[in-house]
Chains A and B, each alone.
Chain A
């Protein structure tokens, strides 16, 4: 199994540009999450989804949008990139179907720089 796959691994954007961070999981997990991690800091939840067609805001949703048209994919859209969005972005997925062995699986992260 590939687990959680994020693309791209690195990206440099100019201020005002837009881009989509891709996230795909092949574990048939219901729950998917997007986080950002600023240098030396913890993970802040941007958006999450409890299933296809259902998404909700986390702590820091401003400047981002998500969609969940399939169980496997959970793309994160940045519109009008700003320097404050320079960060490392992580996608994660989890399920309660393996209780009590629930855990979250993470992608390798995307390092985004906005200049």
Chain B
């Protein structure tokens, strides 16, 4: 079964600095998708960034970028120029491919605090 592990329950960073959140996953599939979701206190789940496993190029979305290491099954999120609005819970998620179980599985989450 696919599993997603986030080993950092909490992280903090100074405003305007850069922070990296870690995520590892376990799968036997070759085709899948990985996501980072943000959950502010409102509980809304907001997509931050996605990565297709067949793409070698790391995804970027403005200040957010990932380091996708397929062989190591690692998918970290880098937030550059951190802003107060980035404070939230961040979840790494795995979505199985067409040939797989097609489940959407989440990690335990990392609570990110931004210090002004």
Q: Which of A31, A104, A108, A109 contacts B93 (CB 8 A)?
A: A104
Given A41-B109, A42-B91, A108-B43, CB of A48 within 8 Å of CB of B35: no
Q: What number of A residues sit within 8 Å (CB to CB) of B?
A: 25
The reply to whether B95 and A45 contact each other, CB–CB distance below 8 Å, is no
Q: Which one of B6, B50, B103, B104 has the highest number of Cβ atoms from chain A below 10 Å of its Cβ?
A: B104
Given A90-B45, A103-B50, A106-B45, CB of A96 within 8 Å of CB of B109: no
The reply to whether A96 and B98 contact each other, CB–CB distance below 8 Å, is yes
**Chain A interface (Cβ < 8 Å from any Cβ of B):** 31, 33, 35, 40-45, 48, 50, 58, 88, 90, 92, 94, 96, 100-104, 106, 108-109
Known: A94-B95, A101-B50, A103-B50. 17 other contacts (CB 8 A): A33-B103, A33-B104, A40-B111, A41-B108, A41-B109, A42-B91, A42-B106, A42-B109, A45-B104, A48-B102, A50-B102, A58-B103, A96-B98, A102-B33, A102-B95, A104-B45, A106-B45
**Chain B interface (Cβ < 8 Å from any Cβ of A):** 6, 33, 35, 43-45, 47, 50, 52, 55, 91, 93, 95, 98, 102-109, 111
